[in-house]
Amino acid sequence: MKGAKACFQRYGDVIWTKDTSGDGYSVYTNWTNQLKQPSGTWKTYRTGKCSNPGSNGDYASCNKDFYEATSTNAYGGKGSRIQVSACVASIGDDECQTSTWITNDS
């Protein structure tokens, strides 16, 4: 996405946001954590936002603590995945680009 990048670092459960444009707009990352239930279906467990108050070229991080994919989770199943959306807070509607699901294994 032009203006913002987001990624998830499995080791340490860190979400990164980078401002890639000198356009003056702030950037942020929306994230979703889903856990697999014993039935095998995925259910949203947590969501959040990591803001980057910096400017062009600056990184910001949010350190989280997610269940590992191989550990028994809060719903009693095994499985944890993360999705991140890099967003530019532009005038009017914000623009975001969403990743595919990322399995959370260390």
Tell me which residue has tokens 């532009």.
90
**Per-residue pLDDT at 106 exceeds 70:** no
DSSP string, 18-75: EE---SS--EEEEEEEEEE-TTS-EEEEEEEEEEE-S-TT-EEEEE--PPPTTSB-TT
pLDDT band at residue 64 under the 50/70/90 scheme: very high
pLDDT at 81 over 80: yes
The full set of domains in the chain, from first to last, is 4-103 (2.60.40)
For 12-46, what is each residue's pLDDT tens digit?
A: 999 999 999 988 899 999 999 999 999 999 999 99
How much is the mean pLDDT over the chain? 94
pTM greater than the 0.85 cutoff: yes
Quote the pLDDT of residue 91.
76
